[in-house]
Each structure stands twice: as structure tokens, then as C-alpha cells.
């Protein structure tokens, strides 16, 4: 069973129906007992870093989430802002503390906005930098769907499994042990996205 | 028949009206160029090892090792024979009976099933429904074979889910005949492929909305299973021809020798190809429809395969094509009686779906002769309305 964490941040319908379509049983929840029962945990997220963190705190889910993922080592997937909040801190409308599960911070795109419109919305190629069971068999087409104005940066190169270029190069997929996260939206990325979600379902970190 | 000369591939005889065709600077079509990939670039030894591994992965774990969808034509007969003989698998043979099986085919099937010792499920959908959807797809798409296209590819998938048999092995890959997929991609026989070129862009739900007097469940045989259900079973659905090099002529010889498989004459097909499309007595109508729409028939297709495989020159092929393609088949009488339309309506519909730049000219069409088994074909035209 897949637990999709519900903390009042963004559209979780498309990600849960994508998992459902792939044959998984999905529970959308913020209850500790559901997270305990789940085999895989997904943290979606849309909107601002600070708001997402506040909602996470308010939902009271952080403690059991940390326990299941960080201590018990359950396969975890953070999507979009769900990736960003894993960082130490986010610089969006002030500086906010993140979950700090991985080393890094989240900052705004630093690009020439006359050439690169912000937010970065639409399809873009990813460049896989490290082999991972989660991103494989992509075929000729390596595009995924993005929508964001901020992105993750890290000094820990080992964390990065794929980069993306949009005026600057930024990490678009990271993995550390059982923790996996992408800036792009797999649930909106057609076949490549569905493959990735299926790989996540089959993942035994 | 036709006002213009179609541009044909400079190597084979497939014209510009063929689906997915593109010519390179030398005028060679992409289907011929696929053969270069097939013959020179693919490591077939490696592919065979992949097939070994695939079959072992599923062997002995379910009621049957795999489902082999089966029409009884040359390709599926070869596929079944190859898998049983080479791998000693226990298959569930699934046959979608479109309603037009020829006597020769039934005899072949009987022999094949008995000689090989296999379990078989054959399913025939309700004729009242089939008749309606045949007419509807003819009128809308200029192709009356919707029930067969969709049923052949949906029904075995449904049984995979129903009986929890995850592996399906089909016969030839589509890259042998078209360029929807190339030989260097592994063609999964999945819903994407189904929607891409099998179902004429009409799903079972669409069809339900198009015709009257049927229940939604009447269209279930033509419905692709939900991805969720397929994933739950872990369905893998691939073509044998992605793993071993397909060679029609030698495969036909093999099934003739080993299974006593016999070909038959087909309307609009040169006797040089006594193995092609014997599974349906409406094949002549289908190929005629294709000729009206696209300016070429089955002989162009058959000769092109032989030309690609170096068994015939282009000149010989062209001669046969001109002689056999485009005759008005005797089976059209039957088709008109089944569907209750006139020949004028049939031709008008076909013309509407002509593929540019082909312009059919419907005068002085030569009539083809009745096939020897014509009199044995079913002629139930009056139905009891429920």
C-alpha cells in the first residue's frame, strides 16, 4: 500500500490516481497508523516552501513521517515541493527551516529572465548523472514535466541522480538510501513518468 | 482503376498511400530500411537469450506458462509451434473467432492443436453486435474490421487478467509491415499500441455511443482491460518476432512440414503466395476496400516482402501486382447481404476514405472469381430481432 501524505498542500489527486492506475492500493492520509502500515510513502507538494512546511507541521505528520522514512527506511518519494522540503532550508518569501533529511538548500532560479521565463513550466530533458533503479529505460525521449520557480542546490554531489538545464544546471532528481525525490512531476510526465512511478513501486532500497 | 500513378518505393512496391510510409533521398521506404536494422544491426543471438530468460521467468508458476493468441494463420501457427517445440512450454491458446473462419483454417487448427497438445479457448462474439459494429466502422473509418482488430488484441489480455497468466507472446512485430515501431525498439503489445493503430481510433466506449440497440457490456469483448488490472497481474505482452528474426517463407515451409498446415487461395492474391491471410473469408473484401482507398492490394504487400527478402525481383513483383490487385471480389456479395447495404453505398463509403493522392476511378472493375470454398461459407442473412 502506498501512503500519499495529505497535509493540505496541493493537488494530490493526480499522483494518487497514477499510482492506482499502476495497480497499487493508495491511501491519502496524515495518520501515523497509515504511514506505519504503508510499504511506500509519497510526499507531494505544490506551492511555497514556507507554507508547505507550516502545513506539514500543523498536520502533525512530521514525527511519524520521520520515523517511518528516516529511521525505518521505507521507500520514500518527494515530488516538487515535496523534494524541496527535504532540504535544510528554503529561501522563498524569507528563510524557512526544512526537514533537513538531505544536505542542501532551496533557492530561486538565478537566470536572465528575459531569456528564461520564471516559473520554469513545461517539458524539459533530464540528464541522468548516476545509475539508479528508479530512472531507467527512458528510451530516446528523456523529457519530464516541470513547474517551479525555486530549485534545490547541494554541495553533496553524491546525492544527485539527474540534472536539468534551464539557464542554469540544477539537480532535478536526488537519492540517498531509501529517500528519492524529483523536482519534476512524474504524474504529469506521460510514459516516462509512469515508468518512474512503477520503478518506485518495485524499488527495494 | 485510379486516375494517377502512385509513387512506389524504389526497392519494394509499397506506394505512398501506405500508412507510416516515408521515402529517403533514394526513394527507398522506411519499411525496407527497417529490414537493414533487422538483418544487420540487431544482435539476434542476444535477443534469443533474452527470450530464454523471459520464458524461464514465468515457467511453471501459473496455470499456463503463457497465453499464445492464435488465429491459425501462418504467423500464429508458427509462433505456437516454435514455443511448444523449442521451449516445451504449456500455453493457453486463445482464439478470437471473428466469425469468418474458412474451412481450411478450421482443419489446420484442428491438426495443430492435436499434434501439439495444447489447451485452447475460442471465443466468438455475438453476431448481432458484430454486424452492427462492422457497418458502423465501415461508415466512419472505411474499415469494417473493428470488431476483429479490437477483439483479437483485447480478448487475450482480458483472459490474462481473468486467469492470472501474466505472459503473452504474439507473433510477428508490426515493424515487419509498418513503421509505427522500429525494429530496434521492443514492441510491447499494450494499450498504447492498441490505441495507436489497432482500434481505428474507436474504443469500446466510443462504439457504444455510436450504435443503438446494444448494452454497454455487449462491447466488453472489444474493450482493452484497465491498466490497473493488467499491472496487478504484471502482464508482459510481447512479440516473438522481437526475439527471433521473422522469415515468412521459411516459417511457412516449417509449419507445412511439421504440422501439415495448408494454405489456400485468397481473393486478390497471386497463387505465388498460397500462405497469406487464409483465416478470413472476408479478406477479399478487406483488401478490395484497401485498394479503393489506397490504390494497392495484398499482392503489392506480398511481393514487397519477397522483394525485401531477395526472393523476387521488383519487375516480377510489379507484374503480379498489376495482374492481381484491385479485382472486385465475389465475397463482396456476401458482405453486402450481411450488412444490408448496396454496392453503391459500399463504394461511396470507400471512396470517401481514399488516401491522397490516390483518386479511385470506379469504372470497368474486373470481377474476381469465387474461391473453391465459397459455397461452404455461412449465408445467414435473416436475423431474429430480440
pLDDT tens-digit readout, B289-328: 999 999 999 999 999 999 998 999 999 999 999 999 989 9
**Residue B235 Cα, gap to closest chain A Cα (Å):** 11
Optimal mutation site among A18, A22, A23, A187, interface B, most CBs of chain B within 10 A: A23
- Contact flag B231-A20 (C-beta cutoff 8 Å): no
| pLDDT (0 to 100) of residue B1 | 54
For residue A95, what are the β-bridge partners?
A: A91
Q: Is the ipTM of this complex over 0.90?
A: no
Residue B102 burial by CB count (10 A; 0-12/13-18/19+): exposed, middle or buried? buried
Non-local CB neighbours of B278 within 8 Å, separated by 6+ positions = B73, B102, B104, B105, B263, B264, B266
pLDDT tens-digit readout, B331-363: 999 999 999 999 999 999 999 999 999 998 877
Interface of B to A at Cβ within 8 Å reads: 185, 192, 226-232
Q: What is the mean pLDDT of residues B37-59?
A: 95
**Residue B227 Cα, gap to closest chain A Cα (Å):** 6
| pLDDT (0 to 100) of residue B274 | 81
- Contact flag B231-A21 (C-beta cutoff 8 Å): yes
| pLDDT (0 to 100) of residue B372 | 94
Among the listed residues A12, A9, A7, the one whose alpha carbon sits nearest the alpha carbon of residue A188: A12
pLDDT tens-digit readout, B83-129: 999 999 999 999 999 999 999 999 999 999 999 999 999 999 999 99
Residues of chain A with C-beta less than 8 angstroms from the C-beta of B184: none
Point out the catalytic residue in the list A80, A92, A96, A151. Answer: A80
Give the confidence band of B190 by pLDDT, cuts at 50, 70, 90: confident
Distance CA A45, CA A78 (A): 8
- Contact flag B229-A21 (C-beta cutoff 8 Å): no
- Contact flag B226-A21 (C-beta cutoff 8 Å): yes
Find cell 526544512 and name the residue. A98
A164 is catalytic: no
pLDDT tens-digit readout, B235-248: 999 999 999 999 98
**pLDDT exceeds 60 at position B3:** no
| Cα B81 from chain centroid (whole Å) | 19
**Residue B121 Cα, gap to closest chain A Cα (Å):** 27
- Examine residue A119 and say whether the peptide bond preceding it is cis (omega within 30 degrees of 0): yes
| pLDDT (0 to 100) of residue A121 | 96
Answer whether B272's CB lies under 8 Å from B252's CB.
no
A168 is catalytic: no
The chain B residue lying nearest A19, using CA atoms, is B228
pLDDT tens-digit readout, B210-228: 999 999 999 999 999 999 9
A96 is catalytic: no
pLDDT tens-digit readout, B18-45: 999 999 999 999 999 988 888 888 999 9
Q: What percentage of chain B exceeds 70 in pLDDT? A: 99
Distance CA B186, CA B66 (A): 18
Residues of chain A with C-beta less than 8 angstroms from the C-beta of B229: 23
Optimal mutation site among B184, B228, B229, B230, interface A, most CBs of chain A within 10 A: B228
Residue B21 burial by CB count (10 A; 0-12/13-18/19+): exposed, middle or buried? middle
Distance CA B266, CA B279 (A): 10
The enclosing H or E element of B94 equals strand B91-96
Question: Can you give the pLDDT of all 205 residues of chain A as single tens digits?
Answer: 999 999 887 778 999 999 999 999 999 999 999 999 999 999 998 888 999 999 999 999 999 999 999 889 999 999 999 999 999 999 988 899 999 999 999 999 999 999 999 999 999 999 999 999 999 877 778 899 999 999 999 999 999 999 999 999 999 999 999 999 999 999 999 889 999 999 999 999 9
Residues of chain B with C-beta less than 8 angstroms from the C-beta of A22: 227-228, 231
- Contact flag B229-A191 (C-beta cutoff 8 Å): no
Measure CA of the first residue to CA of the last residue in chain B; give whole Å. Answer: 42
Point out the catalytic residue in the list A92, A148, A185, A198. Answer: A185
Which of A23, A191, A198 comes nearest B232 by C-beta? A23
Interface of A to B at Cβ within 8 Å reads: 20-23, 139, 191, 198
Non-local CB neighbours of B114 within 8 Å, separated by 6+ positions = none
Distance CA A25, CA A14 (A): 14
Optimal mutation site among B231, B232, B233, interface A, most CBs of chain A within 10 A: B231
* Beta-strand runs (E) in B243-339: none
Which range is least confidently modeled, A38-47, A147-156, B131-140, B179-188? B179-188
Distance CA A79, CA B252 (A): 53
Which of A23, A139, A191 comes nearest B231 by C-beta? A23
Residues of chain A with C-beta less than 8 angstroms from the C-beta of B192: 191
**Residue A195 Cα, gap to closest chain B Cα (Å):** 12
Q: Is this prediction's pTM over 0.90? A: no
Amino acid at each position: 500500500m502506498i501512503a500519499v501524505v495529505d497535509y493540505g498542500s496541493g493537488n494530490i489527486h493526480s499522483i494518487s490516481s497514477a499510482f492506482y492506475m499502476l495497480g497499487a492500493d493508495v491511501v491519502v492520509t496524515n495518520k501515523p497508523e497509515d504511514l506505519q502500515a504503508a510499504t511506500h510513502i509519497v510526499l507531494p507538494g505544490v506551492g511555497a516552501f514556507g507554507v508547505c512546511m507550516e502545513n506539514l507541521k500543523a498536520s502533525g505528520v512530521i514525527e511519524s513521517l520521520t520515523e517511518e522514512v528516516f529511521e525505518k527506511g521505507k521507500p520514500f518519494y518527494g515530488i516538487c515541493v515535496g523534494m524541496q522540503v527535504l532540504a535544510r532550508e528554503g529561501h522563498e518569501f524569507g528563510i524557512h527551516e526544512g526537514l533537513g533529511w538531505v544536505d542542501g538548500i532551496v533557492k530561486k532560479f538565478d537566470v536572465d529572465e528575459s531569456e528564461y521565463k520564471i516559473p520554469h513550466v513545461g517539458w524539459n530533458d533530464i540528464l541522468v548523472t548516476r545509475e539508479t533503479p528508479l530512472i531507467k529505460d527512458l528510451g530516446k525521449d528523456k523529457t519530464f514535466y516541470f513547474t517551479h520557480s525555486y530549485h534545490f542546490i547541494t554541495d553533496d554531489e553524491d546525492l544527485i541522480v539527474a540534472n536539468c538545464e534551464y539557464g542554469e544546471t540544477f539537480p532535478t532528481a536526488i537519492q540517498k538510501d531509501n529517500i528519492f525525490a524529483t523536482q519534476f512531476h512524474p504524474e504529469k510526465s506521460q510514459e516516462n513518468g509512469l515508468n518512474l512511478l512503477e520503478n518506485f513501486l518495485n524499488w527495494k532500497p | 482503376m485510379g486516375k494517377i500513378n502512385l509513387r512506389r518505393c524504389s526497392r519494394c512496391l509499397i506506394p505512398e498511400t501506405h500508412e507510416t510510409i516515408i521515402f529517403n533521398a533514394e526513394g527507398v521506404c522506411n519499411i525496407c530500411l527497417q529490414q537493414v536494422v533487422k538483418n544487420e544491426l540487431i544482435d539476434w543471438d542476444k535477443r534469443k537469450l533474452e527470450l530464454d530468460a523471459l520464458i524461464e521467468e514465468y515457467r511453471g508458476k501459473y496455470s499456463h506458462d503463457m497465453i499464445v493468441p492464435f488465429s491459425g494463420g501462418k504467423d500464429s501457427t508458427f509462433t505456437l509451434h516454435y514455443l511448444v517445440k523449442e521451449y516445451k512450454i504449456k500455453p493457453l491458446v486463445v482464439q478470437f473467432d471473428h466469425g469468418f473462419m474458412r474451412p481450411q483454417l478450421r482443419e489446420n487448427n484442428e491438426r495443430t492443436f492435436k499434434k501439439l497438445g495444447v489447451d485452447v479457448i475460442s471465443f466468438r462474439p455475438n453476431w448481432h453486435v458484430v454486424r452492427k459494429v462492422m457497418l458502423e466502422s465501415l461508415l466512419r473509418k472505411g474499415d469494417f474490421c473493428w470488431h476483429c482488430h479490437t477483439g483479437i488484441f483485447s480478448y487475450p489480455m482480458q483472459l490474462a487478467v481473468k486467469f492470472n497468466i501474466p505472459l503473452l507472446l504474439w507473433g510477428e512485430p508490426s515493424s515487419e509491415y509498418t513503421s509505427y515501431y522500429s525494429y530496434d525498439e521492443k514492441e510491447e503489445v499494450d494499450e498504447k499500441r492498441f490505441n495507436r493503430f489497432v482500434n481505428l481510433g474507436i474504443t469500446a466506449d466510443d462504439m457504444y455511443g455510436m450504435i443503438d440497440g446494444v448494452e454497454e457490456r455487449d462491447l466488453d469483448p472489444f474493450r482493452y482491460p484497465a491498466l490497473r488490472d493488467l499491472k496487478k497481474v504484471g502482464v508482459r505482452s510481447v512479440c516473438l518476432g522481437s526475439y527471433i528474426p521473422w522469415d515468412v517463407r521459411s516459417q511457412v515451409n516449417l509449419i507445412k512440414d511439421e504440422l501439415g498446415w495448408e494454405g489456400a487461395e485468397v481473393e486478390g492474391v497471386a497463387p505465388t503466395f498460397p500462405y497469406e491471410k487464409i483465416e478470413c473469408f472476408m479478406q477479399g473484401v478487406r483488401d478490395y476496400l484497401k485498394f479503393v482507398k489506397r490504390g494497392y492490394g495484398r499482392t503489392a504487400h506480398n511481393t514487397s516482402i519477397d522483394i525485401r527478402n531477395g526472393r523476387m525481383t521488383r519487375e516480377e513483383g510489379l507484374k503480379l501486382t498489376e495482374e492481381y490487385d484491385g479485382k472486385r471480389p465475389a465475397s463482396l456479395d456476401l458482405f453486402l447481404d450481411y450488412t444490408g447495404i448496396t454496392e453503391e453505398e459500399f463504394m461511396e463509403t470507400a471512396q470517401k476514405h481514399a488516401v491522397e493522392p490516390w483518386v479511385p476511378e470506379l469504372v470497368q472493375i474486373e470481377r474476381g472469381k469465387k474461391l473453391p470454398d465459397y459455397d461452404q461459407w455461412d449465408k445467414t442473412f435473416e436475423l431474429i430481432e430480440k
